[in-house]
Each structure stands twice: as C-alpha cells, then as structure tokens.
Amino acid sequence: MNNGWLLLRTLLLSTSWRNILRFSGDKKKRRRIIGNAVGFAVVYAMLVALCVAMCVGYGKFGIIGAAPVMCALMISAMAFFLTLFKTNGYLFHFREYDMLMSLPFSSATVAGCKFLYMYVKSLPWHMSISLAMMIGYGWFAHPPVAVYPLWIALSLFLPGIPMLAAAFLGFLIARISAGFKRTNIVQTVLTFIFVIFCFSLRFIIEDIFRNDKVQSTLLLASQLTGGAAKVYLPAGWFADAITKTSVSDALLLVGVTMLLFTAVFAIVGRSYRNINSALKSHAAAKNYRMTAQRKRSVIHAIAHKEFRRLMGSTAYMVNGAMGEVLAALLGLGTLIIGFDRIVKTVTNGAPFQSSILQPAIPFIVYFFIGMMSTTACSPSLEGKNYWILQSLPIEKKAVYQGKMLFNMWLTVPFMAFSTLCLCVSARVPALNTALYLLLGVALCAFSTAWGCVCGVRHMRLDWENEIEVIKQGAAVAIYLLPNMFVVMGLVVLMVVLGMRMDHRLLTLIMTLIAGTLAALSYARVMALAKK
C-alpha cells in the first residue's frame, strides 16, 4: 500500500468513533462520543436548513442559477478559515511528531498525510452544505439526472484548493516565525494580523457596493457570486460544470487541485523538519542569572501556569484571545470613527437614535469577550499531565479556581477598555458607565464559571492534537453556540427594554441576573471538584 494512504488509514482508524464504540469498554468515553454525535447532528441540521432556505429564496426570485456558485463560495470560505486555524496544530508542533518522523516515511508524506487527515475530518461540514444546496437547486432548476452525481463528485474537490492555500499560508507563517527566538509569539502575531485583515475586508467590500447604490439584497448576492466566480476560478469551474455540463471545467477543478497538492507538499517537505525543530525548541538568554523565586499562592501559580500555556501555543492563543483582540479593536475604532457614525453605517443610514443602544453596550462588548472562554478547554488541555497534577497535594477546586482566575485576568481588562471606549464615544453618563462596567465584570464571571462547568463536565484527556479540544471539543461547542445566540438576543432585548425603562435600573437588574448565574455556575464547579 502507498505509504501516504497507509499512514492516513492508521490515523483514521486510531481516532474512529465507530471503533471506540465497538471495542472500548469505557462507558464514559462511549457516552461522550454519543453526545458529540448528537450535538454535531443538530449543528449539521441547522446548517442544512440555512442552505435550503437560501435556495428557496433564490428560487422564488428567479435567480436559482446563482446557487452552484454560492455553494462553491460557502464551502471554499469555510474550508479556508477552518484550515487556517487548524494548520498550526495539525501540521506543526503536534504531539506525535517524534513518533511519526521516526517511521520510514518522507517529510512530504507525513505533512501530506496530516493535511488529508484534516481534510477528511472537515468533510462532513462541507458535504452538508453541498448536499443541501444540491437539493434546493434540483427542486427549482430541474437539471438532468447526470448533474447530481457530478455535483457530489466535484464537491469532494471543492475544499481542496482553499485548504491548500490556507495550509501554505500557515506554512509561510511558521517558516517566517521559525527564524525568531520567540517563534510562538511571532507566529501568533502574524496569524492575528491576517485574521483581522480578513474581518476588515468584509467591511471594505460592503462599502464599495454601498457607494455603487446597490439596493436589492438578493440581486446583490447574485451579482457578488457572479463576480466572485470570475475572480475565484474554482467556483466558476464548479458552476459551469453544473449549469453547462462542461467536462473541461470539471477536469480543470480536479486536475488543478491534485497538481497544487503535489506542489505544495513538495515545497513544505523541504523545510518541514527544520520548522518543527524550531517550534519545539526554546531559546535561552545568554545573560541569564539565577535569582530568588517568586512566592505565589497555589491558585495564582496555576493561573500563571495557564498564562504560560496560552503564550506557548499559537492555536490556543488565536482561539482563546481572538475575542479580546477584536473587542479592543472595536473600542479603538469607536473612539476614532465615532459611535454615532458606526451605528449609522450598520443601520445603513436609517433614522435611528444611537442613544437607545447604550444599554446594550455591555452585551455588545461581551459578544466578543465571551466568544471563547479558556476554562472551556483548559481542563482538557492538561492531557496526560492531568494525572501528574492529580498526584500533587493540590485540591481539584484549587486547580479549577486557578484556571478561572486566569480567564478573569484575560477578559476583564479587555472588557473594561472596550466598554470605556464605547461609553466615551457614545457620551454615556459617568454613573451609567460605572454600572456598565459592573455588568461587564458579572458577565465575565459568568463566562468564566460556565465555561469551567462545560470544561469539567466534558473533559477529554486522551487527545492526540490540541486542536481536538481547542476547536472541536464538546465542551467548547456546548459553551460557544448557546452563549453566542443568547447574547445576540439579549442585545435586542436591551434595546427594546431600554426604550421603556430607566437605563440604570435595567442595568442593575441584568447585573443581578448575570451575577446569580455566575454564582450558580461557580457552585456547580465546586461540586464537580468533589467528585
């Protein structure tokens, strides 16, 4: 068997949920897998419903021909960004690196196999979009029967080019950062810069179309997808292969994907060992001196350890601190541009008084701050070291308290900075600003405690790659999805109630509710620590 496929098959079998359910006698592990499967099924169903609804809208307005291009763009965008965040954990500095590199496989084979493993793991997300769009397109367009198997076959290649682009970008970031002493810091900063650029690109494009006076949302979407197909050629190839049954475009999509895969990993393989060696090594200062050790309490020592863990992992820092960085940028942007102008831009110039948004400021900031709680994944990140931690004369509750303390260190300063910037720009009274800060602290405490409940209840210690718990863990998903949708609803609720109630009274009520939920979550963590 080809070395790459043999290695890929081994990796897939070793992490297969089906094999664990068949052969594992650990009931806790089996329950966790069943719970994960149910959770993913719900998310897939929501994604399918969204895609079908989009096709229904296209069909009702007679622009169903844009559906294949939209399908290609959605899959490509998802593949690019998911791969960008996973590349560091899957391709570089992974835990089983020493074992894999000791086997008789070339560096390019190992890197290519890890990429294909990442591709297979993300394939259900891409296919859920593709199949839903195919059903919607077939319902309204009535294409020939041959289009359906062609759609499915080409959908397998659609994520390839954007994933390869993201993987190569991650390789370049790792290659550049490998030349510095603080490799993880440089790699993290470069990733932050690129992600923030992608966020800002959306507003730049939107501003361009607004200046062109494009009014109809659906027609705009059709024009955007048509224009994107001319710029992003794989989307155009896929659309022409489906709508025009073009064999040449289908072959182009397949052939270019395979050629790019070969070229990318031929390049990556040349410096693969050097990059991993640089990322796994640590620089030592020449003028190092032994000084007295700082004395800390157990809780503060654990919090400081968690800080070092965050600073030492690019994947952990990007996912754990991205919300805080975006919140700080929101605050700075509001000070520079102005609160009223931002509200006018978001509402597209509608007659809307920005003052009624003031009670929602703490929840707007929390939408970014609470995007990710480090406590949702930090218990699982202990991995095999958890048993060493258990053998120390430290109570479980002290460990969890230290992890919660670190998350408060991380979130509260950014929350306070962003809230103050928004309040100053919106000309919020001083007393209201103080109340908003108090509500922000209560929300940070709730995020910290509730994240810890999720992290302890759904702890996973047998991971082989930290991405599995940082981005794909059940604890993170259970924390993230409900929290995100509830906060969006609370922003609207605060605006509605703010038009009928005194802002100070409303803020005090919300602070009391958030504080109560935080206290209940903290009590639950302490109860779990006794088990």
Query: In the prediction, which pLDDT does 108 show?
Result: 79
- Stronger pLDDT, 528 or 26, i.e. the higher one: 528
Query: In the prediction, which pLDDT does 227 show?
Result: 55
- Specify whether 256 is located in the same domain as 391: no
Residue 487 lies in a domain: yes
Query: In the prediction, which pLDDT does 202 show?
Result: 47
- Specify whether 131 is located in the same domain as 70: yes
Pull the structure tokens for residue 125. Answer: 């997300």
Domain count of the fold of the chain: 2
Q: To which H or E segment does residue 206 belong?
A: helix 183-211
Cβ contacts of 271 within 8 Å, gap of 6 or more: 175
Query: In the prediction, which pLDDT does 464 show?
Result: 67
Tens-place pLDDT, residues 360-374? 889 989 988 888 888
Query: In the prediction, which pLDDT does 359 show?
Result: 87
Pull the structure tokens for residue 379. Answer: 């218990």
Residue 1 has pLDDT above 50, yes or no: no
Residue 292 has pLDDT above 70, yes or no: no
User: Which residue is associated with the tokens 């197909």?
Assistant: 229
Residue 20 lies in a domain: no
- Specify whether 129 is located in the same domain as 208: yes
Residue 29 lies in a domain: no
For residues 380-395, give the mean pLDDT. Answer: 74
Query: In the prediction, which pLDDT does 209 show?
Result: 43
- Stronger pLDDT, 127 or 195, i.e. the higher one: 127
- Specify whether 266 is located in the same domain as 359: no
pTM of the predicted model over 0.85 = no
Query: In the prediction, which pLDDT does 509 show?
Result: 92
- Which structural domain range is residue 213 located in? 47-280
- Specify whether 330 is located in the same domain as 238: no
Reported confidence tier of residue 394, pLDDT bands at 50, 70, 90: confident
The CA distance from 247 to 7, in Å, is 33
Residue 14 lies in a domain: no
Output the CA–CA distances (angstroms, integers) from residue 260 to 109, 160, 263, 371, in the order listed: 15, 9, 5, 35
Would you give the end-to-end CA distance of the chain in angstroms? 48
- Stronger pLDDT, 378 or 39, i.e. the higher one: 378
Residue 216 lies in a domain: yes
Query: In the prediction, which pLDDT does 186 show?
Result: 46
Query: In the prediction, which pLDDT does 444 show?
Result: 93
Query: In the prediction, which pLDDT does 216 show?
Result: 46
Residue-by-residue DSSP string for 277-308 = HHHH-----TT----PPPP--HHHHHHHHHHH
- Specify whether 229 is located in the same domain as 358: no
> Which ranges of 312-462 does DSSP label H, i.e. alpha helix?
314-337, 339-346, 361-369, 378-381, 385-391, 396-425, 430-457
Query: In the prediction, which pLDDT does 34 show?
Result: 76
Say what percent of the chain tops pLDDT 70.
77
The CA distance from 476 to 458, in Å, is 9
Contact by Cβ (8 Å): 44, 203: no
Mean pLDDT for all residues in the chain: 77
Residue 375 lies in a domain: yes
Determine if residue 266 is left, alpha or beta; phi over 0 gives left, psi from -120 to 50 gives alpha, anything else beta.
Answer: alpha
Residue 292 lies in a domain: no
Nearest CA to 374 among 308, 321, 335?
321
Nearest CA to 511 among 411, 432, 409?
432
- Specify whether 422 is located in the same domain as 520: yes
Pull the structure tokens for residue 395. Answer: 């109570």
Domain boundary among 280, 311, 331: 280
- Specify whether 274 is located in the same domain as 306: no
Residue 414 has pLDDT above 90, yes or no: yes
Tens-place pLDDT, residues 220-275? 444 555 555 566 788 888 888 888 888 888 898 899 999 988 888 888 777 777 66
- Stronger pLDDT, 304 or 20, i.e. the higher one: 304
For residues 18-24, give the mean pLDDT. Answer: 74
Q: What is the dihedral of CA 95, 96, 97, 100, to 10 degrees?
A: 180
Tens-place pLDDT, residues 322-351? 888 888 888 888 888 888 777 776 655 555
Domain boundary among 246, 280, 314: 280
- Specify whether 276 is located in the same domain as 385: no
Reported confidence tier of residue 295, pLDDT bands at 50, 70, 90: low
Residue 515 has pLDDT above 70, yes or no: yes
For residues 466-474, give the mean pLDDT. Answer: 73
- Specify whether 231 is located in the same domain as 321: no
- Specify whether 346 is located in the same domain as 387: yes
Contact by Cβ (8 Å): 441, 415: yes
Domain boundary among 280, 311, 341: 280
Contact by Cβ (8 Å): 410, 324: yes
- Specify whether 403 is located in the same domain as 462: yes
Pull the structure tokens for residue 255. Answer: 């052939």
Reported confidence tier of residue 211, pLDDT bands at 50, 70, 90: very low
Q: To which H or E segment does residue 104 belong?
A: none
| 129-143, 209-223, 274-288, 441-455 — most confident range | 441-455
Reported confidence tier of residue 277, pLDDT bands at 50, 70, 90: low
Tens-place pLDDT, residues 127-176? 888 998 898 888 888 888 888 999 999 999 988 888 888 888 877 766 66
Residue 234 lies in a domain: yes
